[in-house]
Amino acid sequence: MCIWRPTDWTVKSLYVCENFVGDIPLTKKILVGLTTVANPTDLVKVRLQAEGKLPTGVPRRCLGAPNAYSTIVRQSFGLDKGSGKKRIVTSVRGLSIVWGDAPRYWKWKEAENSRFAEVAELTSVCWLEIKATINTDILSPRTTYRAYLIFNTVRGSYGLTFPTQETSIKIGSQVISKHNVCLQPDVSDPPKPCLTLLGRSAVFRVPPRPADSDGPVQSPVTRGDGWMELEMGRFFIEEGKGCEVEISLTEIKGGHWKRGLVVQGIELRPVE
């Protein structure tokens, strides 16, 4: 959810007296910046202005102020403690998931230690495709960002080790980053999912990932909040060139079934 920002004067008054005259010390200016978070109304203005700059014939993603507010509510904004630059987390409700609205394949639920009200759990699917589309105008210019998938797995998950998945980052029509990743690496004894056919149950094994498959593979790490994060790639934001960045995770080759992935969202963090 969004955090409403008090006025700059209110934040400033926490560090200097109301009648202060003169230049504020640099250290206190930094403190003001670190305790100030983007105002949702400002972000709506940025989004609407960016839509107005699109060439004729380019489809609009924002259908007015109510739609812009609805989109922003699905995101969490903050400032990086080290650089003071913007960081953003898009909740899973703000992502595009193939078959995400079909209870047969995905279910929505509450989760502990999640910053958002809902997460999405993969029930069973053979076509995994998750995408985030973000307007670069709401990010800090002249900044390199890393994108992370925030996720977890449940007991009995399978199909997340092999085949490996692929992440890509695209700005406009140009693909600038592409990586092989593994959501559940180093599983020495893969789970044994059960397949029921004509009233009979058959147990089958998920083959482990070959050591030399698809080259280097990026693995996830465990966060302090108990969730896992997987780096999806990085990209650079140029100043004055508002456009959309598309970040995706896919595994759509071979029709391999998978389950047990729990997605919280995708986070963008500035590189220090």
Written out in words, the top-level CATH class of the domain with range 92-270 is mainly beta
Q: Going residue by residue through the chain, which has 272 residues, state the pLDDT in tens, using 9 for 90 and above.
A: 333 333 333 344 444 554 555 555 655 544 444 444 444 455 455 555 655 665 665 555 555 555 444 444 568 888 888 889 999 999 999 999 999 999 999 999 998 889 898 999 999 999 999 999 999 989 999 999 999 999 999 999 999 998 999 999 999 889 999 999 999 986 544 545 555 555 554 444 444 444 444 568 999 999 999 999 999 999 999 877 778 999 999 999 878 999 999 999 999 999 97
User: Phi first, then psi: what are they for 65, rounded to 5°?
Assistant: -60, -45
Distance, CA of 57 to CA of 12 (rounded, Å): 44
Helix and strand tally (H, E) in the chain? Answer: 4, 15
> ω before 210 within 30° of 0 (cis)?
no
Among the listed residues 200, 184, 206, the one whose alpha carbon sits nearest the alpha carbon of residue 257:
206
3-state class of 215 per DSSP?
coil
Can you say how many angstroms the Cα of residue 239 is from the centroid of all Cα atoms in its chain? Answer: 22
Domain ranges of the chain: 1-10+23-73, 92-270
Dump pLDDT digits (tens) for 207-227: 444 444 456 899 999 999 999
What pLDDT score does 260 carry? 97
Distance, CA of 183 to CA of 185 (rounded, Å): 6
> Which residues are CB-neighbours of 205 under 8 A, at least 6 positions away?
190, 192
What pLDDT score does 54 carry? 59
Percentage helix, strand, coil for the chain under 3-state DSSP, each rounded to 5: 15, 40, 45
> Which residues are CB-neighbours of 269 under 8 A, at least 6 positions away?
80, 87, 145, 146, 148
Distance, CA of 92 to CA of 52 (rounded, Å): 27
Distance, CA of 133 to CA of 25 (rounded, Å): 39
Strand 119-122 with 259-270, pairing: antiparallel
In this structure, the dihedral spanned by the alpha carbons of residues 48, 54, 59 and 63, taken in order and rounded to 10 degrees, is: 10
Distance, CA of 103 to CA of 151 (rounded, Å): 19
What pLDDT score does 60 carry? 52
Length of the chain: 272
Q: 116 is written with which tokens?
A: 């958002």
pTM across the whole model: 0.68
**Which helix or strand (DSSP H or E) is residue 203 part of?**
strand 200-203
Dump pLDDT digits (tens) for 135-147: 998 999 999 999 9
Dump pLDDT digits (tens) for 82-99: 889 999 999 999 999 999
Looking up tokens 């060139």 gives: 241
What pLDDT score does 194 carry? 52
What pLDDT score does 131 carry? 98
Among the listed residues 133, 147, 162, 154, the one whose alpha carbon sits nearest the alpha carbon of residue 256:
162
What pLDDT score does 11 carry? 40
What pLDDT score does 261 carry? 98
Handedness of CA 159, 164, 176, 230 (dihedral sign): positive
User: At 46, which amino acid appears?
Assistant: V
What pLDDT score does 24 carry? 56
